[in-house]
Structures are given as structure tokens and as C-alpha cells.
Amino acid sequence: MTQDALARRNVFVLVAAQAVLGAQMPMIFTIAGLAGQSLAPNACWATLPITLTVIGSMLTATPISAFMQRYGRRAGFVAGALGGALGAAIGAYGLMTGSFVLFCIGGLFTGIYMSAQGFYRFAAADTASDSFRPKAISWVMAGGLLSAVLGPQLVKATAEAMVVPFLATYLAVIGLNLVGMFLFLGLSIPKPKPPAAGAPMGRTRGELIRNPTIAVAMICATVSYALMNLVMTSSPLAVVGCGFETGDAADVVTAHVLAMYAPSFITGHVIARFGVERVIALGLIILAGSGAVAMSGVELENFFVALILLGVGWNFGFIGATTMLTSAQRPEERGRLQGLNDLIIFGGVSVASFASGGLMNCSGGSVQAGWQLVNMAMLPFLVAAGGALIWLWLRPREMRG
């Protein structure tokens, strides 16, 4: 079996996992804020369960990366699915008992799955050749198209299916995790070999983060992901708060997640054709366009167009930054760098997620004013990421690291 034949087999498994297991993330991001709003003692804390999911992902990124480095990708992905099932079970019990604290703890454990899912894109690159790597990463991300349809449709079918709102949704998440983990039986990625005595250990974390290419890749990935999360977390609250239905919020999230993953069929080709820096720059520009549309009105059409642009901008920015990062790593640094990368990314996403609820519910005099503030908050971070990218672009290639 050739190298890329094996890589294509692994990509197929990871696409299926992204579709089935990944469906839980749009489900949780659609309803957790609404459920949190009904359970929280103060509306400002409505998005805390989502924030804790991201914090859980941040806290487990490095341990899961180290776990995979020692025991292999398959073991790490199964552990992530078990964490997702446990988080949903605790969340379901929190809903049954009306406990906001338990509901938040469930969100924290859900972060174990979210962290593991973040490594699907790196696993796609593990057995791929240099030429196939951007396509492998983007194809795995494209698996989210099915999750974009499956997750919100499950929300529609389950949100009011039981006496306790959203309880059936969390039970469905448990089922997705328990069934989906068996997909990884088809994954074939060799376990990393323990380094031999005297083998190169690679650069330290400090040396890695001072590398210009790695630093800019991390900045652009963090900004792309954090701003996407900032706006997406508040969007169901904004849609419902502006007089629309929960089903409308689910449809907006469906359109958003489809837009996150649909471009993945071509993103790898676009990167290969035009270069990774141009694709990242385009992603940042589209994110800015999303904010402009959101601030121009609160009709349902505005929500759809803004969230679609948000998804496309995230796709180009995040996949581009991931490709840039993997091009700058050495094999012996893989676990160290990828764990550090996701720790930084989800640290930024945690701050954005928590800020989203505060900006939305507690910083404006109305839902519309809060939604405006959420989108205005994107601007300084887009400027910072764009400046970092231009700085790297202007450096001679031999000085980029």
C-alpha cells in the first residue's frame, strides 16, 4: 500500500468520525446557551457552559496530545468520545435536576471530546505526503458538512421531545459518542516510536513559539477560531431574542456549520494554487465581512448571511493556519507543537466564548445592542492577525524559520 493510499483510507475514517461524532458540537452550541439561560441565576452567565466546554478542551489539549504520542491516535480518539459521552450524561442529569452547576460540569467534560476532535486534522496529515497533506486536512474538515446537517436536525427532533427541554438532545449526544467511537477501528496510523538514545528531541516549546512561521500560524488560527466562536455562541441567543424560533436558530447554525466545512473540498487546492498566506488573508477579510453584515440589521436574512460568511472565513483562516503550522514542524516535535498550538487556540476561544455571553446579555440595553457589540469586538483582533500575517509576508523566506 502506497503512502497516500494509506492516507486516503485514514482520511475516509476521519471524515466519517467528523460527520457522526462531530454532530454533537453544533448540537451543543445551538442549545447549551439557551439551556444555560434558563438554568443560570444571572443571564450574564448563559454561555458559561459553552465556555467551560472550550476550557475543558484547552486543559486537555496537551495531555491528549501526549497520550496520542505514546499510545497512538486511535486510543486518543476513543478516549475523546468517552469524554463526550460522560459530559453529555452529566449535562443531562443537570437538566433533570435543574442544576446549573452540574450542567456546567458536563460542559467541562464535553471539552475532552472537543479537544480530541481538534486532532483529526493532524491525524489526516500523519501518513500523507507533502503534496497530499493540504488536501487530506481539508477533506477531513469537509466531513463536518454531514455533522452540520445531522446535528441541528437532531436538535429540532429532540429539543422538545421530553418534558424537560433539551434533555432528549443530550441523550442523543451520549448515543452518538458510544456508537461513533467504533469508527476508529478502521484507523491505521503507526504509533510514534519512542526516541532512541541520542535521537534529536526537536526544539523546546519556547523555541517553537519564537519561530516566525509557527508564531503567525498560531496567531491566525487563534483569531479565526476565537472570533468564529465569539459570534456563533451568541447567535442562537440573538436569533431567539429578536423574536424568531428555536428552529430558526437551529437553521442558522446549520447554514453556519455547512459554510464552515463546505469550502474544505477546495481549500487544499486553493492553498496549493495561491499559497497559504493569501488564503489566510482572504479568511480574515471574509470574517470582517461577516461582522459588517451582522451589524447592518437583525432580519433573519442578516443572521443567515453573516453566519455563512463567518463559517467560510473560519475555514480559510483556520485550515490555512493549520497547513502553515504543519509545514514548519519536525516529526519529533509533532506532539509537543500540536498540544501547545491547541492549548493556545482554545485558551483564546475560552475567553471569546465567555465574553460572548457578557457582551450579548449584559453590555447593551437590548438584544440588538448586545449583538452589535459582539460583532464590533471582532475588529481589533482581525487587525492584529492581519498585521502579523503582513509582517511574515514581508520577511525574506530564509528568515521565516
Q: C-alpha grid cell for residue 135?
A: 488536501
Separation between Cα atoms, residue 242 and residue 302, nearest integer Å: 12
Q: Where does the pLDDT of residue 3 fall: very low under 50, low under 70, confident under 90, or very high at 90 and above?
A: low
Separation between Cα atoms, residue 285 and residue 280, nearest integer Å: 9
Q: For residue range 361-401, list pLDDT tens digits in order.
A: 777 678 899 999 999 999 999 999 999 999 998 888 766 66
- Cα 369 off chain centre by: 27
Q: What b-and-e string marks burial along 172-190, b requiring 16 or more CB atoms within 10 Å of the CB?
A: bbbebbeebbebbeebebe
Q: What is the mean pLDDT of residues 332-352?
A: 81
pTM recorded for the entire structure: 0.76
Higher pLDDT, 3 or 177: 177
> Over pLDDT 90: what percentage of the chain?
47
Separation between Cα atoms, residue 23 and residue 44, nearest integer Å: 27
At residue 1, the pLDDT reads: 46
Q: For residue range 249-260, list pLDDT tens digits in order.
A: 888 988 998 898
CB 134 within 8 A of CB 323: yes
Separation between Cα atoms, residue 218 and residue 324, nearest integer Å: 9
Reported residue count of the chain is 401
At residue 282, the pLDDT reads: 97
Q: Which amino acid, one-letter code, is at 42?
A: N
Q: What is the mean pLDDT of the chain?
A: 88
Higher pLDDT, 177 or 126: 177
Q: For residue range 207-228, list pLDDT tens digits in order.
A: 888 899 999 999 999 999 999 9
At residue 331, the pLDDT reads: 67
At residue 357, the pLDDT reads: 79
- DSSP class of residue 21 equals G
Residue 99 has pLDDT above 70, yes or no: yes
* Secondary structure class of 164 (helix, strand, coil): coil
Of 70-79, 86-95, 320-329, the poorest mean pLDDT is in 320-329
Q: For residue range 37-57, list pLDDT tens digits in order.
A: 889 888 778 888 988 998 998
Separation between Cα atoms, residue 318 and residue 329, nearest integer Å: 17
Residue 245 CB partners (closer than 8 Å, separation 6+): none
At residue 152, the pLDDT reads: 84
Residue 5 CB partners (closer than 8 Å, separation 6+): none
At residue 195, the pLDDT reads: 61
Separation between Cα atoms, residue 395 and residue 400, nearest integer Å: 7
- DSSP class of residue 244 equals -
Q: What is the mean pLDDT of residues 126-149?
A: 81
Q: For residue range 157-201, list pLDDT tens digits in order.
A: 998 899 999 999 999 999 999 999 999 999 988 776 666 666 666
Count of CA atoms in the C-beta half-sphere (13 A) of 364: 17
Higher pLDDT, 11 or 397: 11
Separation between Cα atoms, residue 216 and residue 399, nearest integer Å: 13
Q: For residue range 271-292, list pLDDT tens digits in order.
A: 888 999 999 999 999 999 999 9
Q: What is the mean pLDDT of residues 139-164?
A: 86
Q: Cα-flanking dihedrals φ and ψ of residue 329, to 5°?
A: -95, 155
- Other beta carbons within 10 Å of 398: 6
Closest CA to 141 of 330, 339, 340, 311: 311
* Secondary structure class of 160 (helix, strand, coil): coil
Domain annotation for the chain: domains and CATH numbers: 3-184+202-399 (1.20.1250.20)
